[in-house]
Structure 1
Amino acid sequence: MALKADTIILGCGVLSSSHDLGTIPCFGGLKFRKDLKKLGKWECCCSVSGQRAITPVEDEKPLKPGPTAAEPQSSGVVQRTEHTGFHRDLNSLPKPLSATDLALSRNGGSKVRVAYQGIPGSYSEDAALKAYPNCETVPCDGFEAAFKAVELWLVDRAVIPIENSVAGSIHRNYDLLLRHRLHIVGEVQLDVNHCLMGLPGIRKEDLKRVLSHPQALDQCEKTLSDLGLIRISAADAAGAAQVVASERERDTGAVASARAAAIYGLNILEERIQDDDDNVTRFMILAREPIIPGTDKPYKTSIVFSLEEGPGVLFKALAAFALRNINLTKIESRPQRKRPLRIVDDSNKGSPKYFDYLFYIDFQASMAAPEAQFALGHLQEFASFLRVLGSYPMDCQQQPN
């Protein structure tokens, strides 16, 4: 069965997929060349072979910055630390970049700069340091600011949380993935290690209240209830630790990462106080340009698409992967916000309507693999819009290119 010619949006370019199931194509018609005039970056040169227009979606155009979501809580396992005073002057810590004030010069040094949402000591900074152990971390006051910092060449990468095994998906970042022309070049998974901390010399029995992000408080409900602590929500966990260190209230503690305790001079009173030990947050690594996928190691590919109207169309779309033994690791649906409802028929007797969705899918295959290209070509038979967000190694620590 021949697949019809069409196009797949691959970040900044277009992927041609005019082929049949019996032919091994080139990398989707995509050619790369080294352009020495553009700082040695890979430039993608594409050709369009289809005639059907791709239906645009509202998130393809950048929107004005809106309210930012609070970061989810996650951390790697860290050793227990004891401190007798402030680790450093709090005023010396880097100030977060804002989405509206990014007029900074790019670092000309060789050390990779990685943006994250939050302040020093946040779980996102832990993820950035796991991905790039020798990097310079750059705090941002919101997810939008971290995306823009990469786009404006202020940093080289951004590490953004996308889902937590307890709290679920961070929908804000799915929306931002579509609005911004960045590429997923890796992923980082961190075990949560929520720590109860307080001022030096304080025991956990001395505490009356505790500050942290609402998700962290919810994930530690049993421990905090057993201690009889009043829970107070804060913008983020690291910020809660900073408040406790600054205000010096001896009956107030915080729930944050072990690294936050070290930075703000707090003592860890108890580690791993979360109710669910199997609590992991997955982060995406974003860059301005995609990496060239290979087949030498396990790869994951992330895409987003919308579907034409019709019975069983989602089943048919997913069958494009099942028929080629491609494992799907994530399926997320998000209503199209500017065109949320679709009319089923044209009658004037109260036509039924339903949400018009965008579908985000992660699957275990490299875009360099023929079966992945055939699957996306097959998917185009039912998709009105399709974009590849990135094809990247699974669960590996990224190093600077």
Structure 2
Amino acid sequence: MTLPRPHRFDLLMGFLGLTSGLLLWSFDLYTTGGRIFDQDWAPLIPLAVMASAEALRRTMPQTALVVGTLAIVADQFTNGNLVTVLMFTDVVYAAVVYGKPASARRVPYTTGLITVAVTVGFLVWWQNAIALVVGVLTGMISFMPAMTGAVVRNHREAADAARLRAEQTALLAEMDRTQAVVAERARMARELHDMVANHLSAIAIHSTAAMSIDEPATTRQALTVIRENSVAGLSEMRRLIGLLRDSSGDAEPAAAPTLAGLDALVEQARANARPSGLDLVLEDSRESTAGLPAPVELAAYRIVQESLTNALKHAAPGEVRVVLAREKGALTVEVTSPSGERPGPTAPGSGAGLVGMRERVDLLGGAFEAGPVTDREGRKQWRVRAELPMDAKDEERA
């Protein structure tokens, strides 16, 4: 086992203590006289031992305290050296400040009991006031340094705990900030995808048709649809920019879309999907359109919008049905479209739309399903179904 190297500052203190003690000894300056070992060289032995303990005050505080205690006791049997006593007080202080927690807690109690025991013992022995002076001196060189060390250690531990709490608070704040940024980016991605994908899909399909079919009427009709979707997409992009600038006050954001605009959305999708052989049907069985939370309306609108976009990209010719219903405290949105091969041009998909729809439903605590199904007549269809709780809080905003 390798012993730790003494700290340079402790080595310096031990050296200065030894030098100072030797200086006092050279001038025959002692703390008392007439002791058992009254030879001139006798105080040098406790002095040297105490200087060694001083060098270990930080790296081996418990060992330094034991060695220092033996040295101070031995010093009482010689004429004594003041520097030995002063170094002992520092060894006691260091044992509390740098020692293990359990040992640091015991030292003040132990030195306090020793102070009381010495005072009582000398009172019984001498039966005069000098015993009180001895007790005070004992407390000054043992109990007071230990209490000072305890106060310093408590302050250091409190400072460390405060610094740790500050670091943890900063870490939690950074985690919250990161999560908020990620959530905001995900929200922006959903909005951007839902607002623009429908128009871009129509543009891609009709531009492909215009290039594939060499008929002036078809080309003119395709260009008309392309222009309408370009203008509508540009308007949606401006609305998104307005939303992004809302916090800075640069522009007033437009109102978020609601189910009141669902008829116009379906009508626009019907015009875009007509060349692909799709017939769009809206079935709204809600008795009342009032009382829907804004987040639920927005989520339902975006789910229908994205489902119609996917139908325009992938659905086979046939009927695309959009069904809205209120049941058991939830708004149900269901969109079914024919599944199979489709003639004519198609637009590629990335799967981001399904992810966005699922995220919207999850934020409101609802249920979402998307996948192939078979209708009563045995035809394959693709169905998107979402249940949005009516008591959803305003967590999802445009």
Shared fold (TM-score greater than 0.5)? no
Greater fraction of residues in strand: 1
Greater fraction of residues in helix: 2
Tell me which structure has the larger Cα radius of gyration. Answer: 2
TM-score (norm 2): 0.19
Structure with the bigger RCO (C-alpha within 8 Å, sep 6+) is: 1
TM-score (norm 1): 0.19
